[in-house]
Structure 1
Amino acid sequence: MGNVSRWPATSGTPMKLVGPTEVASGSGRVLYLQGVASIGGAERDLLAMIKALHGFDPIVVCPNQDPLVSLVRDVGVPVVCMNMPSWRKVKALPLILPAIYRLFLILVSHKIDVLHINDLWWAPIGLAASRLAGIPCITHVRADYTPRHIRHYRLKACQICIPVSKALGQSLERSGVDPARIRLLYSGIDLSRIAENHDSAAIKAQYQIDPGRVVIGSVGNLQAVKGYEFLIRAIAHIKTAIPSILCVIVGGGDRPYAKTLYALVRELDVSDHVVFAGFCDDVYPLLSVMDVFVLASISEGFGIALLEAMALNKPVVATSVGGIPEVVIHGETGLLVNEKDSLALARAISHLLANREQAAAMGKRGRERVEACFSIKASIARLESLYAEVLGQTPMKTGVWTDHI
């Protein structure tokens, strides 16, 4: 691809049979339905949930592909491999009924108590299978969908919908989902699993980053919704004033979109300033060497990567879309700009790089905010309480859904 810098992805080879066949005792069995195997925020949140879950026994159904299969297996959670057809594609129509039936058989054979769908894409198939099995169904809603889009996925039939931000909860309401069925649940991260100190010099040497470079970066799959073209254009603005700027983009994904990004890098003559690191299982080492973390999304339900960066005391520049303003407090933990505005991104990034004390203070407050509001312990406690609700082990909550956090 010319002079575009890329680092190889670290995913392994596909596997066939995975995970243990027995699970530990608990208050019930929860099957997590995940239809894609690439690793993004939704998948990292799924891994965090099954690692931290202790009152219920998790099982994961997902495609027979790495890296997700291996990562789930490494946690010690059973995996059942199954491909999920697309709900709204005509060519997938013949596959939908067989998928519903197979999922129904999995639910029955594994004696599942609750089906938890990890995003709405697979909700219609999961809902149909759970009805056949006679068990409750919960659907996570993670991306910033419009009410019109949400209506296509039949979420009115879900016992509970879990938006990851108030912005998404409001979209669910506008789509016609009964507010009594909505439970806001912010994602959380496990701070105990994050190394407090990273050897920056060694990490830069490992990834061949010159010690004199000013490093910014972003983490997320290479998808158009992440707005990477606007970040790349921002680098083109910044490089004149800061010739040592280096932007590290961590994530794999959509090849056609990636090719457009590589072409844009060459067109703007920023090949020496942008590196595509590919997929990384552990993003924290690369995050640790960034001076500023940037999320240029044009749509975002929440932004797990923001929590990961803030946990490492990194100041953030992000777009003010979806649930991002619920994570990043403008002027306190970072700076928010309008989406699709490369010049505004460049100005915000440049401001933090020129005002290091202010940036460091924002990073510190960001860490404090993660500790106070986005811990995995609190998130799992709320999730397990929700499972107990739908299983009738505790009374169903009433009142305003935004109170249920």
Structure 2
Amino acid sequence: MPQSPRMLSIVEGFIGHLTYGRLMREYLSQSCPIDFYWHNDERELRTRLMSRAIGHYRIPPTRWTLEQNTDFFLFRFQMCLGYFARRLVLRKMAKTHYTALHFHTQPLAYLCLDLMKELPTVISLDRTAAQASREYTKPSLRWTFAPNLHLDKQVFEAAKSIVSFSEAARRSVIEDYNIPPKKVTVIYPGVDVDKIPLCDVRNHSNEKLFNILFVGGDFERKGGYDLVNVFLEKFSDRAELHIVTQTPIEVNHHNIHIYKNIKAYTSDWLNLYHQADVFVMPTYAEPFGWVFLEAMAAGLPIVATNITAIPEMVTSGENGLLIEPGDRTALAQSIQHLIENRELGQRMGLKGRQLVEQQFNAKTHFAKLETLFQEAIAPPNITTELMRSSL
């Protein structure tokens, strides 16, 4: 008797991916025959040693090396992720019969190409290596991403279907890797709008200090220092800046508040969104930007940069304002405009909320994703065999 079709899903256990994986488990664990694991579950001693020796060693440990990837750090780090995932997949396949695989994101599949040839595989991603190379390095040093580009292409070619979180990522898969368009589907990720309700009463009075919120782990990359600089120069006497970050930063001003241990979807986290008048993150590089969706769901106008997938979430003049990375003058002007037009910010926030409910809703995302999973779990040949066995 044929065994029941089942999928094995391996998800990166970092920051935004962690939030995404938790939502996926919550939505699909009851309706889809699938087992979920984080990439670093049940790590063996040799995987931990490999991670320390290869994935975290910097040569030489300089800021320029970090920024320009000249020590191939990203490749070494992602190969470690791939090794973790492969060891985990092999252990799980030895105990359970799986008919399909899912990896989020593609580096987890770098060392599973042989398995992808045997089992239909769905790859979901927020960004390609080609996009990362353009965001992080100078044109003359983009060759340092060549190993990542090569493995990305092999994974994309071997996958049954590819889910991208944005049109920008989809275009990269198709144009940078020459992958057939019909193989790549955009399914915008979403937030659980039920867990981020609109604030019942948000005080938009001109008499209170304007409340600016920033949430970002990699403080410098996400434009945190640009925001602090602009705030201290232009707004420190008429606004408050609330910063949620794990980056150790030293800022001493009575209207700047720093939070280092705020966890997503807690009451303290939600209160910061409900107290804010605007969400500002002038990031220099961003794979997708979950935090923008969370801020939009909370009814906040957005000030962000016009890069990668952000323009697919934020339409300048509609639900926020977009500027170019590093343009502190435009950043100051955008904040000033919202301080002087608080009702405009309120209208932008409501439009952002509506957009999240319609287009960036977790329920919609996972319903579409489940359809692709079901197709991969029970491809035509397996479906046919099951039908014949029941006759």
Please give the range of the TM-score, normalised by the shorter of the 2 chains.
Answer: 0.7 to 0.9
The structure having more radius of gyration, on CA atoms, is 2
Q: Secondary structure at the match of 1:183?
A: strand
Does the Cα contact within 8 Å between 2:82 and 2:110 map onto a contact in 1? no
Instruction: Quote how far apart the aligned CAs of 1:123 are.
Output: 2.5
Residue aligning to 2:237? 243
**What is the match of residue 142 of structure 2?**
none
Task: Tell me, yes or no, if structure 1 residue 56 matches structure 2 residue 32.
Answer: yes
Question: Is 2:155 the partner of 1:159?
Answer: no
Segments of 5+ residues of structure 1 without an aligned counterpart are 1-26, 65-78, 202-210, 253-257, 396-405
What letter corresponds to residue 181 of structure 1 in structure 2?
A: K
For residue 321 of structure 1, what is the aligned residue in structure 2?
307
Change (3 A) 1:332 1:35: closer
Q: In the alignment, does 2:210 pair up with 1:234? A: no
Which structure: greater helix fraction? 2
Give the AA of the match of 1:167: A
- 1:71 is aligned to none
1:214 aligns with 2:210: yes
How does 1:252-267 map onto structure 2 within 5 Å?
252=246, 258-259=247-248, 262-263=249-250, 265=251
| Partner Cα distance (2:84, 2:364) in 1 | 38
Question: How far, CA to CA, are the matches of 2:17 and 2:195 in structure 1?
Answer: 18
Counterpart-to-counterpart distance in 2, 1:30 and 1:271: 52
Residues 61-96 of structure 1 show CA distances to partners (whole Å, capped at 9, x for unaligned) of: 2266xxxxxxxxxxxxxx756768559655997997
Provide closer, same or farther for how the CA distance between residues 284 and 57 of structure 1 changes in structure 2, counting only shifts above 3 A: farther
Deviation sequence 1:190-238 (CA, Å, 0-9, x none)? 222334446889xxxxxxxxx9543211223225432222222222233
Q: Is the 8 A contact 2:212 2:277 kept in 1?
A: yes
1:384-395 alignment runs, 5 A limit: 384-393=370-379
Alpha-carbon distance in 2 for matches of 1:28, 1:286: 44
Alpha-carbon distance change, 351 to 180 in structure 1, aligned in 2, over 3 angstroms: same
Cα distance change of structure 1 residues 92 and 115 upon mapping to structure 2, 3 Å threshold: closer
1:119/1:140 contact within 8 Å kept: yes
Greater Cα offset, 297-306 or 357-366: 297-306
Change (3 A) 1:380 1:345: same
Structure 1 residue 180, shift from structure 2 partner: 2.8
How far has the Cα of 1:51 moved from its partner? 1.1
Tell me if the contact between 1:301 and 1:324 (Cα under 8 Å) persists in the aligned partners.
no
Report the alpha carbon displacement of residue 281 of structure 1 after superposing the two structures with TM. 2.9
Q: Which residue is equivalent to 1:72?
A: none
CA–CA distance in 2 between the matches of 1:90 and 1:354? 49
Question: Partner amino acid for 2:174?
Answer: E
1:238-387 equivalence runs, <5 A: 238-239=234-235, 242-252=236-246, 258-259=247-248, 262-263=249-250, 265=251, 270=253, 272-282=255-265, 283-387=269-373
- Of residues 116, 123, 143, the one that matches 1:139 is 123
Give the conservation status (yes or no) of the 8 Å contact 1:188–1:375.
Answer: yes
Query: Do 1:104 and 1:130's aligned partners in 2 also have CA atoms closer than 8 Å?
Result: no
Q: State the partner residue of 1:33.
A: 10
Q: Deviations over 1:335-360 (max 9, x none)?
A: 11111222211211121121011111
Matched, 1:111 2:97: yes
Equivalent residues, number: 329
Percent identical: 25
Q: Which runs of 5+ in 2 are unaligned?
A: 56-72, 134-144, 382-391
**Tell me, what secondary structure is at the counterpart of 1:236?**
helix
The TM-score normalised by the length of structure 2 is: 0.73
Between the aligned partners of 1:238 and 1:217, the Cα distance in structure 2 is 16
CA distance in 2, matches of 1:158, 1:328: 31
